[in-house]
Amino acid sequence: MGYDLIYSQVTGHVPYLLGGALLTLQLATISFLVGWAIGLFNASILHFGPHPARLAVQGYVTFFINTPLLVQIFFIFFVLPDAGILLSPYTAVAIGMSLNAGAYLTEIQRAGFQSLRREEMDAATAMGFSVPQMVWYVVMPHIAKTLYPPLSNQFIIQVMTTSIAAIFAVEELTGRAYNVNSLTFRSMEVFSIVAVIYVVLTLACSLALAVLGRWLFRVKARIV
């Protein structure tokens, strides 16, 4: 029982797949940026906020880290319509991934607050900075610099995680691969090509992030 690789039946679909890769990148970027903002806000509350607000943030983080992302998106996509909130698959996945990333990015950035030199905060306080000013101008640049590698990793994780959107018929890379597969039944060819696209995509992202990091912060991030 042999299997003959016939890539010629699939190569015509490569531009279509690459189009999906763009959507993959878009979904990863949006969910990372929203998650990063959520994480920064939450970490500020954990550091500066009153006790009830800290509890709320801890509840959010515990919930989203200890339930599967897929279940979270199912909830957003299938349960919220009962409450009159109808979302497109793309929006539901984007929201789910953002909230999920927000929990992980809270944990990552909390470490940044803890590692901040107390002296810089004293100086900012003594000069009359408000808490949001201190977070934006003093804490955030420190986090971006010292936590650049784990933040970059989280972005790469977001790229991989977008494949979950295929389940909701979002036509990102995996979704489109699924479509091409049902059209051609050349599974080996389709998914080997898709695997290569993912590898190239994430390597390109890692490289771009490393170059950006060096340029921004003189950080020696490991490439790949």
Partner 1 sequence: MGLTFLSIQGLSVSYGGKADVLRDVSLDVQRGEVIGLIGPSGSGKSTILRTLVGLLKPRSGTVTLDGQVVDYTSRASLRGARDRFAIVFQQYNLFQNMTALRNVAIAPTLVKKRAKADVEAEARALLARVGLAEKVNAYPDELSGGQQQRVAIARALALKPDILLLDEVTAALDPELVGEVLDTIRALQRDGMTMLIVSHEMAFIREVASRVAFLDQGLIVETGPPAEVFDQPRSPRLKEFTSRILRH
In the region spanning residues 92 to 121, those forming contacts with partner 1, defined by CB under 8 A, are: 117, 119-120
Residue 165 is a binding residue for partner 1 (CB under 8 A)? no
DSSP 135: I
Say whether residue 122 binds partner 1 (CB under 8 A).
yes
Dihedral sign for Cα 87, 88, 89, 90, please: negative
51 binds partner 1 (CB under 8 A): no
**Residues from 53 through 92 that contact partner 1 (CB under 8 A):** none
Q: Establish if 145 lies at the interface with partner 1 (CB under 8 A).
A: yes
Segment interacting with partner 1, rule: CB under 8 A, options 29-37, 73-81, 122-130, 204-212:
122-130
- What's the CA angle centered on 94, arms 202 and 183, to 5 degrees? 70
CA dihedral 95, 161, 6, 13 (to 10 degrees): 30
* N-to-C CA span, the chain: 38
Beta carbons of 43 and 109 less than 8 angstroms apart: yes
Binder of partner 1 out of 137, 169, 199, 203 (CB under 8 A): 137
102 token code pair: 């927000």
Q: Does 38 bind partner 1 (CB under 8 A)?
A: no
Closest to partner 1 by CB, 117 vs 220, is 117
Of residues 124, 151, 166, 170, which one binds partner 1 by CB under 8 A?
Answer: 124
Determine contact, residues 70/167, Cβ cutoff 8 Å.
Answer: yes
The contact set with partner 1 (CB under 8 A) reads 117, 119-120, 122-129, 133, 137-138, 141-142, 145
